[in-house]
Amino acid sequence: SSEGSSRRTFLKTTSALVGGAVLGGVNAQLARAAHPGGSDEIKIALIGCGGRGTGAALQALATKGKVTLWAAADAFADNMRASVDNIKKQVERGKRDGDALLKDATVNVPPERQFDGFDAYNKAIDSGVDLVILATPPGFRPIHFDAAVEAGKHIFMEKPLATDAPGVRHVLATNEKAKEKNL
């Protein structure tokens, strides 16, 4: 019916507006927290370079202010290189097309900051970044989250956060450490 349709439209619209407002506030808080000393560039490491990781990195780069994809890590080198190339091309295309949100975005991931293998996440975390995007398969996320918190990095982590009860407990315990470190 038209009444049900308009109700759905109303819910979609208001949900999008509220979600956008919440995310906008989170982005502003994250930017301030990542650089309390006043530097205005945020360096990002992408850990997990599949389709969702690539999309998350592009979304992080499409932000007002200086944001740089600084490092990338994946278990598979070809996956990681393809992701970095794809992100670079999309940012270049966005700049060429006049996308204001990509105006200050940079992809600066030279070979020495492209890491592959099962220990690649540690190298990316230790590469001088401010923010880590965790988009690996969820079975790995508890240990990657723990390593990022121990290193004092801000984290964006895809869901699901873990695959089993011990993993969820690990994430919850690590989250308490993150709160103590104001991450």
Query: Got the DSSP string for 62-114?
Result: SSSSEEEEEEEEESSHHHHHHHHHHHHHHHHHHHHTT-GGGTTEEE---GGGE
Pair of tokens at residue 122:
């540690």
pLDDT band for 160, please (50, 70, 90 cuts): very high
Is the pLDDT at 69 greater than 90? The verdict is yes
Is the pLDDT at 21 greater than 80? The verdict is no
By C-alpha distance, which of 144, 117, 127 is closest to 44?
127
By C-alpha distance, which of 75, 162, 173 is closest to 121?
75
Pair of tokens at residue 110:
């030279």
Residue at 102: amino acid letter: L
Give the residue with greater pLDDT, 106 vs 14: 106
Mean of all residue pLDDT scores within the chain:
86
pLDDT band for 39, please (50, 70, 90 cuts): low
Give the residue with greater pLDDT, 91 vs 19: 91
What was the pLDDT predicted at 38? 56
pLDDT band for 23, please (50, 70, 90 cuts): very low
Is the pLDDT at 133 greater than 70? The verdict is yes
Q: Is 166 helix (H, G, I), strand (E, B) or coil?
A: helix
Provide the whole-model pTM: 0.79
What was the pLDDT predicted at 8? 46
What was the pLDDT predicted at 34? 53
E-state strands within the chain:
41-47, 66-74, 105-107, 114-116, 131-134, 154-157
